[in-house]
Amino acid sequence: MSCLFCRIASGEIPASKVYEDTDVLAFNDINPQAPLHVLVIPKQHIATTNDLTEADEALVGKLVRTAAALAAQKGYADRGYRAVFNCNAEAGQTVFHIHLHLLAGRSLGWPPG
Ligand code: 5GP
Ligand code: ZN
């Protein structure tokens, strides 16, 4: 298994986990870009958001709702947060296993760089 996030999901590589259930895992980003920077991933390998199918709709909803629940749990629901998927080169995707970045705790610029 060569995918980094599959290896984190299986427990082969350690991560600072903040939430886990049968379908999804959330862990702190190793190089945080905000006071809260969590990655929410499906345990199942999906390389990019281009590879999602109709069968994944509930799973993607769960990723988004998990991010919202974590933001609320950490006290950022009202202040605000950003939840974003990067897809492929121009968006800066470096790990090809989909992951929702949850960023909060500072004012986030728009448009993004
Ligand atoms: P991307 O650039 O693909 O959207 O985001 C990949 C993210 O994964 C980056 O924010 C990067 O810091 C994070 N990352 C890369 N390798 C590791 C790792 O081994 N552990 C953790 N926790 N995060 C990682
Ligand atoms: Zn994977």
* Mean pLDDT of the region 75-96: 98
Is 101 designated active site?
no
Which atom of ligand 1 lies nearest, measured to the CA of 15? 22
- Rounded to the nearest angstrom, the distance between the alpha carbon of 92 and the centre of ligand 2 is 17
3-class SS string, the chain: CCCHHHHHHHCCCCCCEEEECCCEEEEECCCCCCCEEEEEEECCCCCCHHHCCHHHHHHHHHHHHHHHHHHHHCCCCCCCEEEECCCCHHHCCCCCCCCEEEEECCCCCCCCC
Q: Which residues line ligand 1 (CB under 6 A)?
A: 4, 15, 27, 29-31, 39, 86, 92-95
| CA of 95, closest atom in ligand 1 | 3
Taking residues 51-55, report their average pLDDT. Answer: 98
Among all bound ligands, the one having the nearest atom to the CA of 44 is: 2
Is the confidence at residue 69, as pLDDT, over 70? yes
pLDDT at 106: 98
pTM, 2 dp: 0.98
pLDDT at 22 over 80: yes
